[in-house]
Amino acid sequence: MRSAVMPLARRYRANQIFEKRRLQGKWFTDTLDGRVTSKDGNRYGQVFANCGYFATVYPTDTKRKAGNALRTFFQEFGVPARLTCKGSKEQTSKKTEFMEQVRKNNIDLHVIEPERHNQNPCEGVIREVMRKWFRTMVRSCVPRKFGDYGMRWVCESYGRTSTQAGGLNGCTPIESVTGETTDVLEYLDFGFYDPAWYHKNAGLGERLPGGWLGISHRVGSLMSYYFLTGKCTVISCTTFQRVTNLELEVDGNKVLFKEFDQEVRRLLGKEEPQQDIGDKSSPEDWAELMEFDEGLQEEFSNIVSNDYIKDADKNFTPEVFNDTYLNMELALPSGDGAEPAFVRVAKRLKHANGLPIGTAHDNPILDSRMYEVKYQDGHKAAMAANAIAQSLFAQVDAQGNCHLLFDEIIDHRTDEK
């Protein structure tokens, strides 16, 4: 008769399957206050970090959900053997979800002394995350109500950046925690709130403007990203396309994305400052972010209002380049394999009414001016400015030097050696 009792070794292997990974070393956690309630209703974030420069954050709408964040951290990365936290009532009260998870997973919990913030290094991590997010928010004109997405992206970027600090010797912080090689492919094409195109109806719909808000790990398939739509809603999408720098130079696209940003800010509410990319922010717009952190005030002064950095000339127009190509000499290749034809840029072409043809642009590819070029044999031809620029770039190296190469050896001799 077969025994109904499972052998001890088999029971041990079965328990191993369902056991959570145990994280060694010292781990720390603290609650981040984002100062602003996000579009999804999140104002706080529970941050977990270790001594190896790894950090992750879980946005929450209230401090009481620190226990929910702890449970999610267990599922994604594992259970820390030793955890240090601040003695807030939302975390250390007996009947909280946080303490329930600590007891259930047999964690060695250490609570710091009141007002001894130096005992919890996670507070320093929060300060650095906030600084990085602040820089990104001001530089890219990101609405403040997407801070939960932004700070999560900051932590993910830090965790996937190779470093020599902390004894990692070129390893990434997340690799030191999981032991697995990090795939950074999803993070290469976009920066936070970069303009992007997305397609509705599983890629069959029209191309629409949007803003990139990070990777949606738990929604959709691989390479699925969070996108902000023109209706100020966040969707998870795999049918996307980055907007190239060349596309952003087109006037129609400039207007399209400016209207997109203005509509998003209108839908977010009056408390969201109206700002265009490239404009300086007003300190009053960010006062609540800097009120309790002198470091953020210093960052604002250095990045946005630094008196040592002069403003760009707002009256500058590309038309100052009207005569850039005049009297330049070019070597134009011949399609039949003959020697290159040498020409000189003679003058700017004009319409019958005397107005110049085309407009100048600081991007040579988008420069539509037309010039008259004169060949050595005397005949003349019309040539576009972008073709002239292409020919010039083909003739020089990275240092701007021009070199002439001979085509063939017409006479030579050899001996037996």
CATH code for residues 17-178: 3.30.420.10
pLDDT of residue 176: 86
Contact predicate 127/293, CB 8 Å? yes
> Residues near 129 by Cβ (< 8 Å), separated by ≥ 6?
32, 47, 55, 57, 151, 154, 155, 158
Q: How many CB atoms lie within 10 A of CB 367?
A: 21
Q: Where in the chain is the domain with CATH 2.30.30?
A: 185-279, 318-395
> Residues near 276 by Cβ (< 8 Å), separated by ≥ 6?
141, 258, 261
pLDDT of residue 318: 52
**pLDDT tens digits for range 61-70:** 999 999 999 9
Backbone phi, psi, residue 25, to 5°: 85, -175
pLDDT of residue 59: 92
Task: Decide if pLDDT at 192 tops 80.
Answer: yes
pLDDT of residue 396: 67
C-alpha 140/C-alpha 108 separation (Å) is 42
What average pLDDT does the chain have?
A: 79
Give domain 318-395's CATH architecture. Roll (2.30)
Phi-psi region of 121 (alpha: psi -120 to 50; beta: other; left: phi over 0): alpha
pLDDT class of 1 with cuts at 50, 70, 90: very low
pLDDT class of 138 with cuts at 50, 70, 90: confident
Q: How many CB atoms lie within 10 A of CB 69?
A: 24
Residues 161-179 have a mean pLDDT of 85
Say which range, 327-331, 390-394, 412-416, has the weakest mean pLDDT: 390-394
**pLDDT tens digits for range 285-325:** 666 556 555 666 666 666 555 665 555 544 545 554 456 77
pLDDT of residue 15: 46
pLDDT of residue 153: 92
Read off the tokens for 59.
């946005």
C-alpha 94/C-alpha 135 separation (Å) is 39
Contact predicate 29/137, CB 8 Å? no
Place of tokens 């292997």: 13
C-alpha 147/C-alpha 138 separation (Å) is 12
**pLDDT tens digits for range 43-57:** 999 999 988 889 999
Residues 235-257 have a mean pLDDT of 84
Q: Where in the chain is the domain with CATH 3.30.420.10?
A: 17-178
DSSP letter string over 179-208? -S----GGGTS--TT-EEEEETTTTTS-EE
pLDDT of residue 12: 40
Class of domain 185-279 (CATH, top level): mainly beta
pLDDT of residue 70: 92
Burial 292-330, CB ≥16 within 10 A → b, else e: ebeebeebbeeebeeeeeeeeeeeeeeeeeeebbeeeeb
